[in-house]
Amino acid sequence: MSAQRTAAGIAIVVAATLILPGGVARAANVDNLYDEATLKYWQSRYSSGLNNNLENVLVPRLNAEERQRLAGVEIEVPLLVEGQEPFAYYTTGTPWVVTMSAASLKFFDDFCVAIAWLQANGYSIETASDYVSMVKYRTPAGVGGPYPLPLDALQIPGNALDDQRVNNIANRIFNEAIYFVLAHELGHALHRHPGYGGGVTRAEARANEAEADVFALDMMQRAEAEPTSMAFWFLMAGHMADGRGDFESESEYEKFLAESTHPLTGDRIAALADRLVAEADEFARNENQQAGSL
């Protein structure tokens, strides 16, 4: 893959998030999108995959100081986190615990399968983003009942992953993107970020997010992970984020940005893109590598 293709892949997500910068917002609660049996099945699989990545991919690539600071960090995969779905990814300490819910992981997993099947079969991948926007802007009542599951709504076949092309694309996107998210959360633990409670200014919180992003990109380089898959995570998040069009005035939007702890702003995405463009050749060499499997 060329440096130009690396930059182009990020340009997709930059465009999307510049349209919809801001913090995650939804028209209705999506905590109950998946039933308990489904979440319990995936909880075990995701927990095993995340811990495997931590122990066998991330930790061996830490330097001595980083390994010491991250010693004892645990990963928890609850079924869901009420009021935070489908973006229940966060780090708390001490002791330091990275939380990534099964419901959030499953939502992105389904998004990846949809992207892969649509691409492999010659359809526009924009319909996957349309589903995410529907969840943001329409209530369950507005669609005639509970939200349809992503793959059902997009009429993706239940055996979609039997197609090796679809399976390869979906797994590649999911594994690489979630590796970035996991490394980002570990970055908070590494730098002992205090979260978003009292005493932490919005500017400090955003600086902490940027610092965690830098660590996540560093870890992707060390693992020889190809980075553009993370663009799809930001693409999904961008379509659920509050943007200027969600506010009646510029002043209301600016107030929202001032009060948000870690909005998905164009500045954050631009910083990621600038790093990838500056080191495009280095990242391009990682095209055929994988960070690990979940």
pLDDT tens for each residue of 124-158:
999 999 999 999 888 888 888 889 999 999 999 99
Q: What are the residues whose beta carbons fall under 8 Å from the beta carbon of 186, sequence distance 6 or more?
A: 54, 58, 70, 73, 91, 98, 215, 216, 219
For the segment 58-114, what is each residue's pLDDT rounded down to a tens digit? 999 999 999 999 999 999 999 999 988 999 999 998 899 999 999 999 999 999 999
The answer to whether 205 touches 185, Cβ cutoff 8 Å, is no
pLDDT-above-70 percentage for the chain: 85
Whether 19 has a pLDDT exceeding 50, the answer reads no
Query: How far is Cα 236 from Cα 154, in angstroms, rounded to an integer?
Result: 15
pLDDT at 268: 82
291 pLDDT tier (thresholds 50, 70, 90): low
The answer to whether 91 touches 193, Cβ cutoff 8 Å, is yes
In the three-class reduction of DSSP (H, G, I as helix; E, B as strand; rest coil), residue 252 is classed as: helix
At residue 36, what is the residue type? E
Phi, psi of 24 (to 5 degrees): -65, 135
At residue 223, what is the residue type? A
Whether 23 has a pLDDT exceeding 60, the answer reads no
pLDDT at 293: 62
- What is the DSSP code (8-state) at residue 55? I
Q: Is residue 247 exposed (0-12), middle (13-18) or buried (19+ Cβ within 10 Å)? A: middle
Look at residues 5, 58, 6 and name the one whose alpha carbon lies nearest to residue 275: 6
Q: Is it true that the peptide bond before 86 is cis, omega within 30 degrees of 0? A: yes
Neighbours of 193 (CB within 10 A): 19
Whether 290 has a pLDDT exceeding 80, the answer reads no
The answer to whether 14 touches 270, Cβ cutoff 8 Å, is yes
Q: Which two tokens stand for residue 72?
A: 């004892």
196 pLDDT tier (thresholds 50, 70, 90): confident
Query: How far is Cα 222 from Cα 32, in angstroms, rounded to an integer?
Result: 37
Helix residue ranges per DSSP H, the chain: 3-19, 36-53, 64-69, 102-120, 126-137, 150-153, 164-190, 202-222, 230-240, 250-259, 266-278, 280-284
pLDDT at 294: 65
Q: Which residues pair with 100 in a beta bridge?
A: 89
Among the ranges given (80-89, 90-99, 243-252, 284-293), the one the predictor scored with the smallest mean pLDDT: 284-293
pLDDT-above-90 percentage for the chain: 54
pLDDT at 292: 57
pLDDT at 3: 37
Query: How many Å is the Cα radius of gyration of the chain?
Result: 18
The answer to whether 84 touches 62, Cβ cutoff 8 Å, is no
Whether 27 has a pLDDT exceeding 70, the answer reads no
Residue with more model confidence, 218 or 281: 218
Mean pLDDT for the chain?
A: 85
Whether 29 has a pLDDT exceeding 90, the answer reads no
Whether 289 has a pLDDT exceeding 90, the answer reads no
Whether 256 has a pLDDT exceeding 90, the answer reads no
Q: What are the residues whose beta carbons fall under 8 Å from the beta carbon of 34, sequence distance 6 or more?
A: 80, 103, 106, 149
Residue with more model confidence, 197 or 11: 197
At residue 122, what is the residue type? G
Whether 187 has a pLDDT exceeding 50, the answer reads yes
pLDDT at 16: 37
Q: Rounded to an integer, what is the distance from CA 35 to the centroid of its chain?
A: 22
